[in-house]
């Protein structure tokens, strides 16, 4: 055991499963120490027929990534770096809705376990204040325009200290420990809570559709009612974030009162 491991409470499969006892998914967990990417490992398992709810969680990722190929900082024993296999019988166009559903589930779990008042920035970042505490990456495989499977990648900065962040993330990222004034969070309990909330909300979405999930998302949003900006091939676009459309795209109202639908890309809160 390394010096790093001696000073860190490692993830506990039994602790995770105890918290996720109400979830169907707690029995399909692959807990690893170090992996290049939980997302790639979950994809490999999905391609080999892994059942829905199969979860890969690691103490450390050496090649973790976020949206648009950005590197995700995943130090050993400090966060929750996990990917979950979903097998919804839905058209490919439903992927953005699943992303927002996952954001609501993770936000609920973090609030319940840590007490930190995190909110959702469209489409898939969780913030405390204006600093990023969690990212969600949903990647899909399809067959004839229907989803074969989705991998929901979830990265939560749990017990990182300020000095754990590289220079390029100073002032940008934060953690639950920082937001709690130095009080750590049991990562196993939080991981189990994420699985429980994700399982429950996923069933709710499949039974009732996107509309009630969208209302939940809007209630947790830190985007709506704010001015946001987005860089496009035609220049910078700014507008007031007013809501979601039926597909999960963000609706922006520009200064002329025209409504624009944003379906992809990054936005900036201004």
Task: Say whether pLDDT at 216 is over 50.
Answer: yes
Structure confidence at residue 22 as a pLDDT band (50, 70, 90):
confident
Q: What is the dihedral of CA 138, 156, 172, 140, to 10 degrees?
A: -10
What per-residue confidence (pLDDT) applies to 6?
A: 54
Task: Say whether pLDDT at 3 is over 50.
Answer: no
- Across 80-91, average pLDDT: 96
Residue 252: strand, helix, or coil: strand
What per-residue confidence (pLDDT) applies to 234?
A: 81
Task: Say whether pLDDT at 76 is over 50.
Answer: yes
The chain-wide mean pLDDT, for the chain, equals 93
| pLDDT tens digits, 42-70 | 999 999 999 999 999 999 999 887 665 57
Instruction: State what percent of residues in the chain have pLDDT above 90.
Output: 83
Give the distance, in angstroms, between the CA of residue 159 and the centroid of all CA atoms in the same chain.
Answer: 17
- Cα–Cα distance, 126 to 151 (Å, whole number): 18
The residue to which tokens 């860089």 are assigned: 231
- Angle between helices 187-208 and 95-114 in degrees, nearest 10: 140
Give the distance, in angstroms, between the CA of residue 250 and the centroid of all CA atoms in the same chain.
Answer: 18
Query: Could you tell me the strand order of the sheet in which 259-262 lies?
Result: 259-262, 250-253, 235-244, 227-232, 268-269
Instruction: State what percent of residues in the chain have pLDDT above 70.
Output: 96
- Across 198-221, average pLDDT: 97
- Contact (CB, 8 A) for 49 and 135: no
Instruction: Report pTM.
Output: 0.94
What per-residue confidence (pLDDT) applies to 5?
A: 53
| pLDDT tens digits, 120-135 | 999 989 999 999 999 9
- Across 17-24, average pLDDT: 92
Q: Which residues pair with 146 in a beta bridge?
A: 91, 143
| pLDDT tens digits, 219-270 | 999 999 999 999 888 889 899 999 999 999 999 999 999 999 999 888 999 9
Task: Say whether pLDDT at 7 is over 80.
Answer: no
Listed residue (180, 170, 172, 191) closest to 59, CA to CA: 191
- Cα–Cα distance, 231 to 234 (Å, whole number): 8
Helix or strand (DSSP H, E) at 158: none
CB atoms within 10 A of CB 173: 21
How many alpha carbons fall within 13 Å on the CB side of residue 15? 12
| pLDDT tens digits, 178-188 | 999 999 999 99
What per-residue confidence (pLDDT) applies to 1?
A: 47
- Angle between helices 210-220 and 95-114 in degrees, nearest 10: 50
What per-residue confidence (pLDDT) applies to 67?
A: 61
């Amino acid at each position: 055991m390394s010096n790093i491991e001696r000073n860190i409470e490692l993830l506990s499969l039994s602790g995770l499963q105890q918290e996720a006892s109400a979830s169907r998914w707690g029995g399909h967990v692959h807990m690893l120490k170090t992996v290049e990417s939980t997302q790639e490992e979950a994809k490999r398992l999905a391609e080999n027929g892994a059942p829905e709810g199969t979860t890969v969680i690691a103490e450390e990722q050496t090649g973790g990534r976020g949206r648009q190929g950005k590197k995700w900082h995943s130090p050993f024993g400090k966060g929750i770096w996990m990917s979950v296999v979903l097998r919804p019988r839905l058209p490919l166009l439903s992927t953005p809705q699943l992303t927002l559903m996952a954001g609501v589930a993770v936000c609920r779990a973090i609030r319940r376990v840590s007490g930190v008042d995190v909110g959702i920035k469209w489409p898939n970042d969780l913030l405390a204040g204006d600093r990023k505490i969690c990212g969600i990456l949903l990647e899909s495989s399809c067959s004839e325009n229907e989803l074969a499977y989705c991998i929901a990648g979830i990265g939560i900065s749990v017990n990182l200290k300020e000095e754990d962040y590289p220079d390029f993330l100073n002032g940008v990222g934060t953690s639950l420990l920082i937001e709690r004034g130095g009080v750590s969070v049991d990562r196993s309990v939080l991981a189990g809570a994420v699985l429980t909330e994700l399982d429950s909300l996923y069933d709710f979405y499949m039974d009732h559709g996107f509309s009630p999930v969208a209302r939940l998302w809007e209630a947790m949003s830190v985007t709506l009612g704010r001015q946001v900006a987005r860089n496009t091939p035609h220049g910078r676009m700014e507008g007031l974030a007013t809501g979601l459309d039926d597909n999960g795209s963000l609706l922006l109202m520009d200064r002329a009162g025209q409504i624009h639908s944003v379906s992809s890309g990054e936005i900036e809160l201004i």
